[in-house]
């Protein structure tokens, strides 16, 4: 085990509430009659359906292909029949609907033929990335960025360190904790494959020190792997938001990712432990990503725990499986209490990024109206990115978007530390999201206006050119006309001369 | 517990504006007890009057501005303003002095700027300076500490003085009142007395003015409590005290005949009240970490400059107000370096 090299400013020590959901081992959620699979469960372009309504599908069969570079494949989580390809409500803060494939399961859960590769070194790095993409693997920590892209450093970068994120700093969530406790071997399989694909030896597995069971399970598994001698586990002091990629890098290596940059710019690649496990399964066993571990917890959940759940399973089935004291239509949280979002419809499906369903939290933000900001500066002290949330709040409120940019609004990671510590209970992050969206909309508008202006200018130029061309043509024509006229006159004059040699004298 | 917020974070810490204010008041208790011990119970009467008037003025202004009464009356900020002004006023201050000061603090310095959170100047200090400039006689009529006084005030006596403007015994104020140690030091240095000689007079105690030094020590301990409870951060008080110490030490080493010792300045007048309770007022102080250090050091330097080379015996109130003016500038130039920037 190694020790962390750095630390970040601010942050919070929160009541983890982890024990609620770690009493029992990971259980399987019962197979649902209906699975609803949004075509976009990742960052990037939505996948393109390759099945039709009425098609029979097998478990693990591809049902949608990657469309564009930043996209992945989607698979049937169980065998059955495709009953619809249409818009369905999806788990999204705005309550949007989006294209989904609906599968009615047949209960047989029959697998498609899987291509196993016991020795991944027989594959090239490129083939591995390709398979990971075909297996539909995205970052399972919550962001859902296609993993194969993060395993492709490109020709301009060399990777020095692979960091495996098992921090799980948000309260209540324990799916990474449990996967480390129970499936450490599988995680290490994934790490081996990723090291191979990235051509990097050094790997650090970062785990918060409030998970001693996970740390010992991982250490035990690691001790048996001689080929992973350059892989180390580092126990990180429990502090929110250490699990955030940039903060984790700062803690583990002491380095900072440049503003607007990516970890790869400083030779680092981060992957979540769950993603690592999924990569191991995908390459070694050929299993695509069709399920994930979801923590169901909260003070209103009777049987909290972690559940291996097929994608597309409606959340109400999971919730009724765990028994909750939730009232009908009472909102619940998808994700953690600090960065998740609330949903009220429980017929929404579990997707690749759904790490936690949280019903009821302790120390919930009060219902009372916020007081004015008293400029105490607690928010700035708590900010892990060293922003000045108070100034950002003033400018966001007054819609001075230019100013919010000057105060680095776009470096805000929306971790919520500022709102948490605010004695006036101002929902600061809410304002920052608003200002960000507003700025982006404005930029879009400016872009549109610019495009329109350029189009208009081009049109004017074109007209001008056409006009000039026309004039030129007219001028040419006139000249030609004049020339012919002159020629004719000359001709006529010459003719007249020959016919009447003394016209002048006649006039006189 | 049902969720009340529309977006994350759904959790909230225990910090509350009212809690901050209550802890601030709690931290003042030892110093107030010391004040009563040394200068009689009149501070309690003035304080009660100040709090009542402040709450009435606050309610009136909230009503006029169409703001809800309950959240703002219970936030505790008006009470804190009242208590701080009451502590700063002299023990013989007549009732109308307190009323004028509080009304000006709450109505003009606070609500006309937009109420809690929007006032650029510390309301208690604005009121203090207004009173000091308008009623210099009343504002500088201090009592010597009770042990020195031939006519210590009891509760009834204090009440009589405040509301009737005269002593029970019918004696004139001159027979009971005296200069503050800061005032005495300043006047007598002006008369070319040596500070070390002045400090041997009965008005002075171990380090500074008799009584005053203890009140300042209790205020500093109250301030330490606030720092420990994270109600205030250490940056402003430490910077202010260091600023004051540095300049007074330099002057004291170079020209000891012109100034009291650094310890004298630290434990005299409003130093500790200013350092821990006034300059740390979040609304009117700088907000960045570096900014707070600049702000605090500025208050310390200006306090000394006004005390020693200015026209007033104490300079805390002016120093705070002057630095309040610079806050936007300080904050602008002391922004922290953002992650990855």
HEC string of A4-66 equals CCCCCCCCECCCCCCHHHCCCCCEECCCCCEEEEECCCCCCCCCEECCCCCCEECECCEEEEC
What ipTM was estimated for this complex?
A: 0.88
A339: which chain B residues are within 8 Å (Cβ-Cβ)? Answer: 8-9
Q: Which residue has the higher pLDDT, B30 or B192?
A: B30
Confidence (pLDDT) at A505: 47
CB contact under 8 A, A407 and B340: no
Q: What secondary structure letter does DSSP report for A326?
A: P
Spatial distance between the Cα atoms of B34 and A469, rounded to a whole number of angstroms: 97
Strands A305-310 and A62-65: unpaired
pLDDT band for position B150 (cuts 50, 70, 90): low
Q: Would you say A175 and A20 are in contact if contact means Cβ atoms under 8 Å apart?
A: no
- Taking 80 as the threshold, does the pLDDT of residue A402 lie above it? yes
The pLDDT value given to residue B311: 85
pLDDT, residue B185, reads 84
How distant is the alpha carbon of residue A14 from its chain centre?
26
Rounded to 5°, the CA angle A278-A280-A281 comes to 65
Neighbours of B175 (CB within 10 A): 12
Within 13 A of A379's CA, how many CA atoms are on the CB side?
A: 29
Q: Is A204 helix (H, G, I), strand (E, B) or coil?
A: strand
Confidence at A100, pLDDT banded by 50, 70, 90:
very high
Across the range A436-451, mean pLDDT stands at: 91
Question: Which residue in B has a C-alpha nearest to residue A330's C-alpha?
Answer: B2
How far is the alpha carbon of B262 from chain A, nearest alpha carbon, in Å? Answer: 30
pLDDT level of residue A215 (50, 70, 90 thresholds): very high
A374 touches B116 (CB < 8 A):
yes
Nearest CA in chain A to B3: A364
Is it the case that residue A503 has pLDDT exceeding 80?
A: no
Interface of B with A in 138-177 (CB under 8 A): none
pLDDT value at residue A387 = 94
Contact across the interface for B335 and A93, Cβ inside 8 Å: no
- Residue A222 pLDDT greater than 80, yes or no: yes
DSSP secondary structure of A369-412: PPPPP----HHHHH-TT---HHHHHHHHHTT-HHHHHHTTGGG-
Estimate to the nearest angstrom the gap between the alpha carbon of B90 and the chain centroid.
Answer: 12
How far does the CA of residue B33 sit from the closest CA of chain A (Å)? 28
Look up tokens 């900072």; give the residue.
A256
- What number is the average pLDDT over the span A480-503? 79
A4-23: average pLDDT:
91
Q: What average pLDDT does range B172-200 have in this prediction?
A: 80
Q: What is the mean pLDDT of chain B?
A: 90
Q: What is the mean pLDDT of chain A?
A: 91
A142 conformational bin, left if phi > 0, alpha if psi -120 to 50, beta if neither: left
Can you tell me which residue has the tokens 């970062």? A206
Q: How confident is the model at residue A372 (pLDDT cuts 50, 70, 90)?
A: very high
**Given the structure tokens 């100013």, which residue do they identify?**
A403
Give the range among A45-49, A205-209, A215-219, B147-151 with minimum mean pLDDT: B147-151
Identify the CA nearest to A341 among candidates A262, A433, A479: A433
What pLDDT score does B2 carry?
Answer: 47
Residue B1 in this model has a pLDDT that exceeds 80: no
The pLDDT confidence band at residue A458, using thresholds 50, 70 and 90, is very high
Give the span between the Cα atoms of A232 and A245, in whole angstroms: 18
**Residue of B6, B10, B281 for testing the chain A interface, max A β-carbons within 10 Å:** B10
Model pLDDT, residue A501: 57
- Please tell me what DSSP assigns to residue A324: B
Place of tokens 């009724």: A320
Contact A138, A147 (CB under 8 A): yes
Q: In the structure encoding, which two tokens stand for residue A316, read together?
A: 């109400």
B70 touches chain A (CB under 8 A): no
Q: Is A341 exposed, middle or buried (0-12, 13-18, 19+ CB in 10 A)?
A: middle
Find the closest chain B residue to A403 by CA distance: B332
- Look at residue B269 and give its three-state secondary structure: coil
Angle (CA) A355 A360 A364, round 5°: 105
Q: What structural domains and CATH numbers belong to chain B?
A: 17-330 (1.10.3430)
pLDDT at B148: 66
How many CA atoms lie within 13 Å of A67's alpha carbon, on the beta-carbon side? 13
CB contact under 8 A, B7 and A430: yes
Using the predicted structure, report yes or no on whether residue A506 has a pLDDT greater than 70: no
Half-sphere exposure of A262 (CA within 13 A, CB side): 9
Residues in B closer than 8 angstroms to A8, CB to CB, are 339
Q: State the Cα–Cα distance between residues B325 and A91, nearest whole angstrom.
A: 50
Interchain proximity B9–A424, CB inside 8 Å: no
pLDDT tens per residue across span B51-96: 999 999 999 999 999 999 988 998 999 999 999 999 999 988 999 9
Are B303 and B247 a contacting pair, CB within 8 Å? no
pLDDT at A374: 92
Contacts for A86-93: CB closer than 8 Å, 24+ residues apart: A88/A36, A88/A38, A88/A349, A89/A345, A89/A347, A89/A348, A90/A38, A90/A348, A90/A349, A90/A351, A91/A315, A91/A334, A91/A343, A91/A348, A91/A349, A91/A351, A91/A354, A93/A341, A93/A342, A93/B7
In this complex, is the C-beta atom of B19 within 8 Å of any C-beta atom belonging to chain A?
A: yes
pLDDT over 70, % of chain A:
98
**The pLDDT value given to residue A1:** 66
pLDDT confidence tier of residue A271, bands split at 50, 70 and 90: very high
Contact A255, A150 (CB under 8 A): no
Q: Are A77 and A36 in contact (CB under 8 A)?
A: no
For the segment B135-155, the average pLDDT, to the nearest whole number, is 78
Question: The sheet that has A231-236: what strands, in order across it?
Answer: A231-236, A203-208, A161-166, A268-272
Which of A171, A329, A376 is the best residue to mutate to test the B interface, defined by the most B CB atoms within 10 Å of its own CB? A376
> What whole-number distance in Å separates Cα of residue B13 and Cα of residue A428?
14
pLDDT at B191: 82
**Chain B contacts of A258, Cβ < 8 Å?**
340
Alpha helices per DSSP H over chain B = 17-39, 42-64, 69-73, 77-88, 95-103, 123-134, 136-140, 155-164, 173-176, 181-190, 195-198, 212-228, 235-254, 262-266, 271-273, 289-309, 316-333
pLDDT of residue B166: 75
The string of DSSP codes covering B111-180 is GGGTSTTT-SS-HHHHHHHHHHHH-HHHHH-BPPPTTT-SS---HHHHHHHHHHSS-TT---HHHH-B--
The per-residue pLDDT for range A145-191, each reduced to its tens digit, is: 999 999 998 888 889 999 999 999 999 999 999 999 999 999 999 99
Separation CA B138–CA B156 (nearest Å): 20
Element (H, E) at A102: strand A97-105
Strand partners, B204: B209
Flag if B10 and A386 touch (Cβ within 8 Å).
no
To test the contact with chain B by mutation, choose from A6, A261, A372, A394 the residue with the greatest count of B C-beta atoms within 10 A, namely A372
| Per-residue pLDDT at B187 | 83
Report pLDDT for A507. Answer: 46
> Considering only the top CATH level, what class is A371-482?
mainly alpha
| Cα–Cα distance measured from residue B304 to residue B4, given in angstroms and rounded to the nearest whole number | 50
**B324-337 pLDDT, tens digit each:** 999 999 999 999 99
Q: Is B117 on the interface with A (CB under 8 A)?
A: yes
- Pairing relationship of beta strands A161-166 and A203-208 according to DSSP bridges: parallel
* Dihedral angle computed from the Cα positions of residues A472, A478, A479 and A485, in that order, rounded to the nearest 10 degrees: 170
Question: How far is the alpha carbon of A3 from chain B, nearest alpha carbon, in Å?
Answer: 22
Q: Nearest to residue B292, comparing CAs of B250, B341, B339, B238?
A: B238
Residue A508 has pLDDT above 60, yes or no: no
Contact present, A407 and B335 (Cβ < 8 Å)? yes
> Quick check: B331 and A386 CB within 8 A?
no
CA distance B196 to chain A (A): 41
Write down the pLDDT at residue A153: 86
pLDDT above 60 for A80: yes
Check whether the bond before A185 is cis (ω within 30° of 0).
Answer: no
Count of CB contacts below 8 A, A vs B?
Answer: 175
d(CA B254, CA A432): 54
User: Does B85 or A6 have the greater pLDDT score?
Assistant: B85
A429 contacts in chain B (CB < 8 Å): 7-9
pLDDT (average), residues B8-14: 89
Q: How large is the average pLDDT for residues A485-494?
A: 84
- Decide if A81 contacts A56 (C-beta within 8 A): yes
Residue entry with tokens 């104020």: B173
Domain ranges of chain A: 19-29+116-322, 371-482
In this structure, of A323-332, B84-93, B302-311, the range with the lowest mean pLDDT score is A323-332
| pLDDT tens readout for residues A255-269 | 999 988 899 999 999
Percent of chain B with pLDDT strictly greater than 90 = 64
pLDDT on residue A78: 96
The structure tokens listed for B37 are 């011990």
Cβ <8 Å between A365 and B10: yes
pLDDT band at A142 (very low <50, low <70, confident <90, very high): confident
The strand order across the sheet containing A291-297 reads A27-28, A305-310, A291-297, A356-358, A332-334, A341-343
Q: Does B311 touch chain A (CB under 8 A)?
A: no
Q: Any CB–CB contact under 8 A between B1 and chain A?
A: yes
| Per-residue tokens: A49 | 């359906």
Rounded Cα distance between A104 and B146, Å, is 90
Predicted confidence band of residue A500 (pLDDT cuts 50, 70, 90): low
Distances (CA, A) of A244 to A184, A384, B316: 22, 10, 45
Among A256, A372, A415, select the one facing B340 at the smallest CB separation.
Answer: A256
Task: Give the C-alpha separation, A30 to A16, whole Å.
Answer: 28
Q: How far apart are CA A390 and CA B107, in angstroms?
A: 25
CATH code for the part of the protein at A19-29+116-322: 3.40.50.11540
Distances (CA, A) of B29 to B35, B40, B84: 10, 15, 12
- The pLDDT value recorded for residue B20 is 92
With CA atoms as reference, report the closest residue to A431 among A359, A382, A379, A355. Answer: A379
Mean pLDDT across the stretch A344-361? 91
Could you tell me which residue, B141 or A201, shows the higher pLDDT? A201
Chain A interface, mutation test: which of B81, B230, B339, B341, most A Cβ atoms within 10 Å? B339
């Amino acid at each position: 085990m190694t020790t962390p090299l750095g630390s970040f400013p601010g942050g919070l020590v929160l009541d983890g509430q982890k024990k609620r959901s770690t009493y029992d081992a990971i259980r399987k959620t019962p197979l649902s009659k209906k699975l609803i699979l949004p075509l976009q469960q990742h960052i990037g372009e939505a996948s393109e359906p390759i099945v039709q309504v009425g098609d029979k599908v097998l478990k693990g069969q591809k049902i949608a292909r990657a469309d564009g570079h930043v996209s992945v494949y989607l698979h049937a989580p169980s065998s059955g029949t495709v009953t619809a390809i249409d818009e369905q409500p999806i788990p999204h803060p705005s309550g949007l609907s989006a294209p989904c494939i609906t599968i009615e399961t047949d209960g047989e859960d029959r697998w498609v033929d899987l291509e196993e590769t016991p020795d991944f070194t027989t594959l090239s790095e490129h083939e591995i990335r390709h398979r990971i993409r075909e297996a539909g693997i995205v970052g399972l920590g919550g962001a859902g960025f296609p993993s194969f892209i993060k395993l492709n450093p490109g020709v301009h970068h060399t990777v020095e360190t692979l960091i495996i994120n098992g921090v799980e700093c948000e309260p209540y969530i324990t799916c990474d904790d449990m996967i480390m406790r129970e499936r450490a071997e599988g995680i290490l399989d994934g790490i081996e494959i990723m090291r191979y694909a990235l051509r990097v030896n050094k790997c650090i597995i970062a785990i918060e020190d409030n998970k001693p069971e996970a740390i010992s399970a991982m250490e035990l598994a690691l001790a048996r792997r001689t080929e992973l001698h350059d892989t180390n586990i580092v126990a990180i002091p429990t502090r929110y938001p250490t699990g955030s990629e940039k903060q984790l890098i700062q803690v583990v290596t002491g380095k900072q990712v440049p503003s607007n940059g990516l970890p790869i710019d400083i030779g680092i690649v981060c992957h979540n432990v769950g993603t690592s496990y999924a990569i191991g399964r995908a390459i070694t066993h050929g299993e695509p990503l069709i399920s994930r571990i979801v923590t169901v917890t909260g003070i209103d959940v009777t049987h909290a725990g972690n559940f291996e759940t097929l994608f597309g399973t409606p959340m109400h089935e999971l919730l009724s499986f765990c028994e909750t004291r939730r009232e009908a239509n009472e909102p619940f949280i998808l994700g953690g209490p600090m960065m998740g979002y609330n949903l009220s419809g429980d017929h929404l499906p579990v997707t690749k990024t759904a790490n936690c369903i949280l019903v009821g939290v302790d120390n919930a933000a009060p219902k009372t109206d916020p007081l004015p900001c008293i400029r105490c500066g607690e928010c700035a002290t708590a900010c892990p990115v060293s922003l000045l949330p108070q100034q950002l709040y003033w400018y966001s409120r007054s819609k001075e978007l230019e100013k919010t940019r000057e105060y680095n609004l776009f470096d805000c990671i929306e971790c919520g530390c500022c709102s948490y510590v605010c004695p006036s209970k101002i929902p600061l992050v809410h304002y920052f999201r608003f200002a960000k969206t507003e700025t982006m909309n404005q930029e879009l508008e400016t872009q549109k206006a610019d495009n329109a202006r350029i189009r208009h200018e081009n049109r004017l130029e074109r007209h001008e050119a056409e006009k000039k061309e026309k004039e030129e043509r007219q001028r040419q024509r006139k000249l030609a006309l004049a020339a012919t006229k002159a020629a004719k006159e000359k001709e006529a004059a010459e003719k007249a001369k020959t016919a009447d040699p003394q016209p002048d004298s006649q006039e006189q | 517990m049902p969720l009340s917020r529309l977006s994350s974070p759904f959790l909230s810490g225990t910090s509350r504006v009212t809690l901050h204010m209550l802890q601030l008041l709690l931290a003042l208790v030892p110093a107030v007890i010391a004040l009563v011990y040394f200068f009689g119970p009149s501070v309690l009467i003035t304080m009660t009057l100040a709090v009542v008037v402040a709450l009435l003025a606050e309610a009136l202004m909230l009503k006029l501005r169409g703001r809800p009464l309950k959240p703002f009356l219970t936030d505790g900020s008006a009470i804190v303003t009242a208590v701080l002004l009451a502590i700063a006023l002299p023990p013989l201050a007549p009732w109308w002095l307190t009323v004028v000061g509080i009304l000006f603090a709450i109505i003009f310095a606070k609500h006309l700027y937009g109420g809690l959170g929007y006032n650029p100047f510390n309301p208690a200090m604005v009121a203090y300076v207004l009173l000091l400039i308008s009623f210099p006689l009343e504002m500088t009529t201090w009592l010597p500490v009770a042990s020195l006084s031939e006519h210590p005030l009891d509760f009834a006596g204090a009440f009589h003085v405040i509301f009737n403007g005269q002593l029970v015994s019918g004696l004139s104020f001159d027979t009971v009142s005296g200069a503050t140690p800061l005032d005495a030091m300043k006047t007598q240095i002006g008369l070319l007395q040596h500070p070390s000689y002045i400090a041997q007079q009965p008005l002075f105690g171990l380090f500074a003015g008799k009584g005053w030094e203890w009140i300042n020590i209790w205020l500093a301990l109250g301030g330490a409590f606030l720092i420990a409870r994270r109600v205030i951060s250490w940056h402003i008080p430490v910077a202010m005290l260091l600023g004051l110490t540095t300049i007074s030490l330099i002057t004291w080493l170079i020209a000891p005949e012109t100034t009291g010792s650094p310890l004298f300045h630290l434990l005299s007048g409003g130093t500790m009240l200013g350092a821990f309770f006034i300059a740390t007022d979040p609304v009117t102080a700088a907000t960045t970490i570096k900014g707070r250090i600049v702000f605090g050091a500025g208050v310390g330097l200006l306090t000394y400059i006004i005390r020693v080379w200015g026209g007033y015996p104490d300079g805390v109130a002016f120093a705070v107000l002057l630095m309040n003016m610079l806050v936007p500038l300080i904050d602008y130039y002391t922004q922290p370096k953002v992650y990855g920037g």
